[in-house]
Amino acid sequence: MGRRDAVQVIVEVVNKMRLLDPRLIVTYEPGWEKRGNGTTANYEGGIWHHTASSSSPTRPFPTQTLLRVGRSDLPGPLCNFAGPWCSVDRPTIHVMAAHPANHAGASGGRSMGPLPKTSLFNPRVLGLEIDYAGLTAMSPGQLHVAQLWARAVADVVGGGDINRVRGHMETSVTGKWDPGFANGKTYDLNALRASSARLTPGADMPLSQQDANLIADTIVNRGIGQMPDKSSMEIWEALRDAPIYARQAALAAEATQAAVAQVQKALQDAPKASAPVAVDAAAVAASLAQNPQFLASMAKAVNDDAAARMAS
Selected binder of Zn ion within 178, 192, 216, 235 (CB under 5 A):
178
* Contacting Zn ion within 30-49 (CB under 5 A): 49
- Site size toward Zn ion (CB under 5 A) is 4
Q: What share of the chain is helix, strand, coil (3-state, %, to 5)?
A: 45, 10, 45
Quick one: 96 or 212, whose CB is closer to Zn ion? 96
Nearest CA to 51 out of 62, 41, 43 is that of 62
Q: Say whether residue 170 binds Zn ion (CB under 5 A).
A: no
Shortest distance in whole angstroms from residue 14 CB to Zn ion: 22
Shortest distance in whole angstroms from residue 19 CB to Zn ion: 27
Helix (H, G, I), strand (E, B) or coil at 208: coil
Cis peptide before 292 (omega within 30 of 0): no
d(CA 56, CA 125): 28
H or E element at residue 71: strand 70-71
Quick one: 168 or 240, whose CB is closer to Zn ion? 168
Shortest distance in whole angstroms from residue 168 CB to Zn ion: 3
Cis peptide before 77 (omega within 30 of 0): yes
> Are the C-beta atoms of 178 and 49 separated by less than 8 Å?
yes
Quick one: 170 or 178, whose CB is closer to Zn ion? 178
Shortest distance in whole angstroms from residue 35 CB to Zn ion: 19
Quick one: 9 or 104, whose CB is closer to Zn ion? 104
Quick one: 52 or 239, whose CB is closer to Zn ion? 52
* Contacting Zn ion within 85-144 (CB under 5 A): none
Quick one: 12 or 131, whose CB is closer to Zn ion? 131
Quick one: 144 or 166, whose CB is closer to Zn ion? 166
d(CA 213, CA 215): 5
Nearest CA to 110 out of 166, 67, 69 is that of 166
Which of the 8 DSSP states describes residue 222? T
Q: Residues 150-169: x/- map of binding to Zn ion (CB under 5 A)?
A: ------------------x-
Q: Which stretch binds Zn ion (CB under 5 A): 59-67, 144-152, 171-179, 182-190?
A: 171-179
Shortest distance in whole angstroms from residue 257 CB to Zn ion: 53
Give me the residues paired with residue 71 across strands. Answer: 74
Q: How many helices (H) and strands (E) does the chain have?
A: 9, 10
Shortest distance in whole angstroms from residue 119 CB to Zn ion: 17
Shortest distance in whole angstroms from residue 220 CB to Zn ion: 42
Nearest CA to 235 out of 249, 219, 248 is that of 219
Shortest distance in whole angstroms from residue 174 CB to Zn ion: 10
> How long, in residues, is the chain?
312
Quick one: 138 or 216, whose CB is closer to Zn ion? 138
H or E element at residue 233: helix 232-269
d(CA 283, CA 263): 18
* Contacting Zn ion within 48-77 (CB under 5 A): 49
d(CA 48, CA 267): 60
Which spans of this chain sit near Zn ion (rule: CB under 5 A)? 49, 168, 176, 178
